[in-house]
Amino acid sequence: MAKLVVLKLDGDLEYQGFRVTLEIGSDFARPEIEISGNLPPAPDLATYLCQWQMKYRSLGMPSRIKPQDIIYDGYINTRILECCQKAKALTDCLQRWLDSEEFRCINNTLREELKRNEVIRVLIRTDNCELHRIPWHLWDFFNRYSLAELALTTTASETPPKPLRKPRVRVLAILGNSTGIDVQLDRKFLENLPNAETVFLVEPQRNELNNYLWQQWDILFFAGHSETADGSGRIYINQTDSLTIDELKYGLRKAIAQGLQLAIFNSCDGLGLAQQLGSLNIPQMIVMREPVPDEVAQEFLKHFLAAFSGAKSLYLALREAREKLQGLEDRFPNATWLPVIFQNPGVVPPTWKELHTAKTQLKHHLSTVLVASVLVTALVMGVRYLGILQQSELQAYDHFMQLRAAEETSDPRLLIVTIGEADIYYQNQKWMKGQGSLSDQALAQLLQKLEQYQPTAIGIDIYRDFPVEPNYGDLVTRLKQDKRIFAVCKVPAALDGEPEGIHPPNEVPQKRQGFSDFVVDDDYILRRQLLQLTPPLKSPCAAEYALGLQLASHYLAAKNIKANINSKGYLQIGDVVFQPLTQHSSGYQKVDASGYQVLLNYRSLRPSEKIAETVSLQDVLNDKINPELVESLKNRIVLIGVTAPSTKADYWKTPSSKEKIPGVFVQAQMVSHILSAVENHRPLLWWWSGWVETFWVWGWSLVGGIIAWRCWKPQQIGLAIVTGLSILFGICFSIFIQAGWIPLIPPALTLVLAATVVVWKLRE
């Protein structure tokens, strides 16, 4: 919404100066700011204004002043130079006046309260005729605010009736006496207006013009000769007749009552016309302050109509057209000073599109947009509920994951001991024979070596469904009695689709066992973290909690941070609640959400991004760890896992969809996920309820419908849709950075589909 700035000036230029009241507000609202100030007397300004007018009018260039006053003087270059000199003197004097101490409070308030990117309408409200002739646009305020434009208005006015919109803009164009000038270009510009019905009266008789004024019009246009004499404006309608506004007042009053919105007098010396017509409460007028050269009038009309009918506001269209006249000022000095708006302060100027939108058509269009948006939203949300959009929504989720700025990936609370191909070869060389990738001898030595790190918890992410060999009694004792050691087993037919389970180590008590089961989506990508499940009765693995949760809970319990189930049945650790996924949670629809699942907020996605400090089995056994590093590795959670491909080690796809990572690194991600949420308040991924998502999707469906309604050209619709989709993507990604997963694909679909439906319905 545009800002409205009103400057009320009461006084005179030569003796008293002016009392000034500043109001700043918005259209259709009471002023938010109102302050008072003053402008001092400026007799020099009145003198400079008079001198400039005399020089300007003495140029003698053919213009649209009354025919008998057109004079051509051969010494045009000298006169142009003199006119420019007087214009410069007037400009400097005006700026000094507006920089005066008495006016500074208003100047400062304007600059403090208004933003440079705001659209601003400035109304100079005064009954002083000299102030109407001042070129206010030269005030440095308008250089600073490129979207501001001024209009003149009087202190007394009444708000005219609201117009009844019509399917097409109705223009009454009067082409009056054109002796010595060319008004045919004006006619051509008017004939090319879009969505307009223009009636031309060429040099009409008084009675004919009067009869037409009693009809319904949106715009009244006059081109020809005119003048202001003794404060009264006069137009020359044909070769012999001229009329004042007073002689047309009944017809004009009727036209205004029936919705006349804009009068354009593309003719000379129009301030007298504006003041008289303003007394009839016409909404807005455009006139020329001084005699206007024919070429200047044509150029102004061309640029103004193109900008106004091309979706610019009345004020910005006039500013653009006025400023484009600067290219003519080498031949027609001060051409940019001439056009000005005369405004009824109680009216907000309509746009071109508002002028040609019928009231009934408006209701029809709005109902079309509303119905289309509701139907499209219902269709898309229904399809989504059936799970048809799930894969595309998960791909968008992965894309957001990949776009996120890199975090500090290494978690200082974890240490990963990897068993790679070299470590298996090392065990064979040292005759550490045994079952699996980690022999009993190697495990016993590893656990003994890890004591120097004083770990808080140790997770053995290796299946050991066989007993420890008899000659390793110390290992059996350690596994049974060391409360820091946790081992894994596997639940049969768990959510990863494996039909058979795997026994835990016999030596590790059940309370220190954790299942290793992961849940993957149909594309085999791991996005969820399974925290708890109920094993089947005959399961070889009786663990109810995941290894990651067991390790994290033990680590946090050592710091007096307890895990429990809150009143809503949700897992709560400390003050952090882990909201479980359901069958319909954001992009997941019709998903198997059994057990206790949460979204896994990865710290890193690729093997190249270390989740934690990593050392090899061989380095630990041979004491090849940097002594300086050893001290920093104390009191961590140690995860032991296999990374050697030859052992068919488990590798998992992450949302990066490019590289797989070993299962032990996934376990580290899951442990870090819990610890970071509880200790560092790293946000857990969250999502909206179904109703909020529905309203969100419907809102974007409305956006698509409105785009199709308000934009008629295919290029405009396409550009608006692309812009809307870009904004939607930006909002969704911005919220995702804050750990929120909100719908992207459904609103994008509804935006495009609603726009398509509305275009089809409105074009039939």
SS3 letters across 680-737 = CCCCCCECCCHHHHHHHHHHHHHHHHHHHHHCCCHHHHHHHHHHHHHHHHHHHHHHHH
**Is residue 591 in a domain?**
yes
Contact 394, 527 (CB under 8 A): yes
Residues 612 and 722 in one domain: no
Q: Give me the pLDDT at residue 195, please.
A: 87
Residues 572 and 481 in one domain: yes
**Per-residue pLDDT tens over the stretch 236-266:** 999 999 999 999 999 999 999 988 999 999 9
Q: Give me the pLDDT at residue 608, please.
A: 57
Q: Give me the pLDDT at residue 647, please.
A: 75
- Residue closest to 482 by CA, chosen among 505, 515, 516: 505
User: What is the distance between the alpha carbons of residues 403 and 412, in angstroms, rounded to a whole number?
Assistant: 24
**Is residue 735 in a domain?**
yes
Is the pLDDT at 342 greater than 90? The verdict is yes
Q: For residue 653, give both structure tokens.
A: 């796809």
Averaged over 192-202, what is the pLDDT? 92
Q: Give me the pLDDT at residue 163, please.
A: 67
Residues 445 and 515 in one domain: yes
**Per-residue pLDDT tens over the stretch 571-588:** 999 999 999 999 999 999
* Positive/negative CA dihedral, 429, 435, 436, 442: negative
Cα distances from 540 to residues 489, 506, 519, in angstroms, run: 8, 11, 19
Residues 18 and 103 in one domain: yes
In the chain, the number of structural domains is 3
Residues 595 and 493 in one domain: yes
Last residue of a domain, one of 640, 656, 679: 679
Pairing status of strand 169-175 against strand 219-223 = parallel
**Is residue 231 in a domain?**
no
Q: For residue 358, give both structure tokens.
A: 């019928």
What is the residue range of 79's domain?
A: 3-153
Q: Give me the pLDDT at residue 70, please.
A: 42
CATH number, domain of 148, equals 3.30.420
Contact 369, 758 (CB under 8 A): yes
Contact 392, 709 (CB under 8 A): no
Enumerate residues 6+ apart whose C-beta is below 8 A from 69. 227
Q: Cα 244 to the chain's mean position, in Å?
A: 51
Last residue of a domain, one of 625, 656, 679: 679
User: What is the distance between the alpha carbons of residues 176 and 172, in angstroms, rounded to a whole number?
Assistant: 12
Is the pLDDT at 708 greater than 60? The verdict is yes
Per-residue pLDDT band for 763 (boundaries 50, 70, 90) equals low
> Residue 141: what are its φ and ψ, rounded to 5°?
-55, -40
Residues 27 and 120 in one domain: yes
Q: Hey, what amino acid is at 288?
A: M
CA end-to-end span of the chain: 33
Residues 422 and 569 in one domain: yes
Residue of 354 and 551 predicted with greater confidence: 551
Q: Give me the pLDDT at residue 71, please.
A: 47
- Residue closest to 225 by CA, chosen among 62, 60, 342: 62
Residues 663 and 716 in one domain: no
Kindly state the percentage of the chain with pLDDT values over 70: 93
Residues 462 and 573 in one domain: yes
Averaged over 321-325, what is the pLDDT? 96
Q: Give me the pLDDT at residue 760, please.
A: 85
User: What is the distance between the alpha carbons of residues 232 and 228, in angstroms, rounded to a whole number?
Assistant: 5
**Per-residue pLDDT tens over the stretch 369-425:** 899 999 999 999 999 999 999 999 999 999 999 888 767 668 899 999 999 999 888
- Residue closest to 274 by CA, chosen among 88, 85, 127, 83: 127
Residues 537 and 653 in one domain: yes
Averaged over 137-147, what is the pLDDT? 94
**Per-residue pLDDT tens over the stretch 48-72:** 999 999 999 888 776 766 655 444 4
Contact 504, 477 (CB under 8 A): no
**Is residue 285 in a domain?**
no
Residue of 12 and 647 predicted with greater confidence: 12
Residues 427 and 473 in one domain: yes
Q: Give me the pLDDT at residue 260, please.
A: 93
**Is residue 170 in a domain?**
no
**Per-residue pLDDT tens over the stretch 259-294:** 899 999 999 999 999 999 988 999 999 999 999 999
User: What is the distance between the alpha carbons of residues 615 and 639, in angstroms, rounded to a whole number?
Assistant: 10
Last residue of a domain, one of 99, 129, 153: 153
Q: Give me the pLDDT at residue 62, please.
A: 67
Residue of 716 and 725 predicted with greater confidence: 725
Q: List the alpha helices (DSSP H) in 612-662.
A: 617-621, 627-632
pLDDT, mean over the chain: 89
User: What is the distance between the alpha carbons of residues 315 and 340, in angstroms, rounded to a whole number?
Assistant: 9
Q: Give me the pLDDT at residue 221, please.
A: 97
**Is residue 193 in a domain?**
no
Contact 252, 211 (CB under 8 A): no
Is the pLDDT at 210 greater than 60? The verdict is yes
* Positive/negative CA dihedral, 736, 738, 740, 744: negative
**Is residue 672 in a domain?**
yes
Residues 673 and 697 in one domain: no
Kindly state the percentage of the chain with pLDDT values over 90: 66
User: What is the distance between the alpha carbons of residues 693 and 327, in angstroms, rounded to a whole number?
Assistant: 54
**Is residue 352 in a domain?**
no
Helix (H, G, I), strand (E, B) or coil at 661: strand
Per-residue pLDDT band for 164 (boundaries 50, 70, 90) equals low
User: What is the distance between the alpha carbons of residues 447 and 449, in angstroms, rounded to a whole number?
Assistant: 5
Q: Give me the pLDDT at residue 318, please.
A: 97
Contact 213, 248 (CB under 8 A): yes
User: What is the distance between the alpha carbons of residues 553 and 677, in angstroms, rounded to a whole number?
Assistant: 12
